[in-house]
Structure 1
């Protein structure tokens, strides 16, 4: 089963509008991956999903709206912000950061994710407003989630972080920055392994004294 598929139990609880929304989104993602974003027309998507162009325009606005919705769904499916306090409360702070980094690195190195990122970058270069929307939908929630976590640790005396938001941005850049560029450029490199991610995180954890002060 691919990441864009939905279980029967989930589909049973959807309204007709939600089913139509997901059918169009599934068809669009499949066609974008098969033929490329530029070579896929809205008519192609309607033929595969059923329905009408009017419904597609009503739900997504245009082809960019479809791509943005696909990207948002992907980030939700891969739990781009998985820092649930109920889960992290049972882990050490260091293990929390490592678990986050491992999971997101794995998700971003999948063939589906790499293909999607290339489409997003290509369209973002062409349209600045689209780029801003993707940044708001995907990147800012990750920064906000990490910022909240670092703020909580600092307030509890469990880390020495004077600027939680800057630390959140630094963390994401340390772990993902060059990996994303390599994927987008099509550079044939092995994805970051857990040992390398662990090595990258050591100075971050040490500098901010995460889990070391009270």
Structure 2
């Protein structure tokens, strides 16, 4: 009996994740108002009854799809940084690797669509902004701060307020791109060369701001 119950729950979990992923892609492409539950059912199969059973309504499905994406965003970042041992070189090398990865992710087409959606829907659903702040922004800062802590430990440095420095580095790096990507309809993501140039400029500002001496 318990085995059958677990099997049923596993199937529901798989079904729920598929619905969330499809719903998220539709919300990004068409927006909240122009995405219907019927569109999602047509793509995922099943019935409206299943969606109502799992999510109660469209609004809850929307919020859960956003939350799922925020967590995936952070997990991908964490995995990418774990795969690269970025604490062994110089401080500039460390910041370059971190900065390039941030800008590549932030200026991707999917991230731009997500930022626009958050701005549009955040006024109607304030809790969405809170979820974004807690699940995405705060968790990302936590990961970046830990990486700077790892660097500090490996180099036997005393850098200072690590979280403050990371927030300064990230904000000065991404703010212009975030604003432009939201307000310019035909915004074009920066090229690889432009990203490298921006990151190097930001590193110079960061080194002056923190007064960290190159190792």
Name the TM-score class by shorter chain: 0.7 to 0.9
User: What pairs up with 1:153-172 in 2 under 5 angstroms?
Assistant: 153-154=151-152, 158-172=156-170
Distance 1:157 1:87 in 2: 14
Contact 1:143/1:168 (CA < 8 Å) preserved in 2?
yes
Contact 2:87/2:150 (CA < 8 Å) preserved in 1?
no
Q: CA deviation at 1:159?
A: 4.8
Return 86-95 or 131-140, whichever deviates more. 86-95
Moved segments of 4+, more than 6 Å = none
Distance 2:74 2:189 in 1: 25
Q: SS of the residue aligned with 2:214?
A: coil
Q: SS of the residue aligned with 1:43?
A: helix
Deviations 1:13-60 (A, max 9, x none): xx5334313321232133224422221122321222123445435555
User: What pairs up with 1:113-124 in 2 under 5 angstroms?
Assistant: 113-124=111-122
Distance 1:166 1:130 in 2: 25
Q: CA deviation at 1:171?
A: 1.2
Does 1:29 pair with 2:24? yes
Tell me what 2:140 maps to.
142
Which of 181, 184, 187 is 1:183 aligned to?
181
Contact 1:94/1:210 (CA < 8 Å) preserved in 2?
no
Distance 1:87 1:137 in 2: 25
Larger radius of gyration: 2
Larger proportion of helix: 2
Return 169-178 or 188-197, whichever deviates more. 188-197
Which 5+ residue runs of structure 2 have no aligned equivalent? 1-9
Tell me what 1:72 maps to.
70
Tell me what 2:171 maps to.
173
Q: TM-score, normalised by structure 2?
A: 0.76
Q: What value does the CA root-mean-square deviation take over the aligned residues? A: 2.9
How many residues in Structure 1 have an aligned counterpart in Structure 2?
Answer: 199
Q: CA deviation at 1:128?
A: 1.9
Tell me what 2:7 maps to.
none
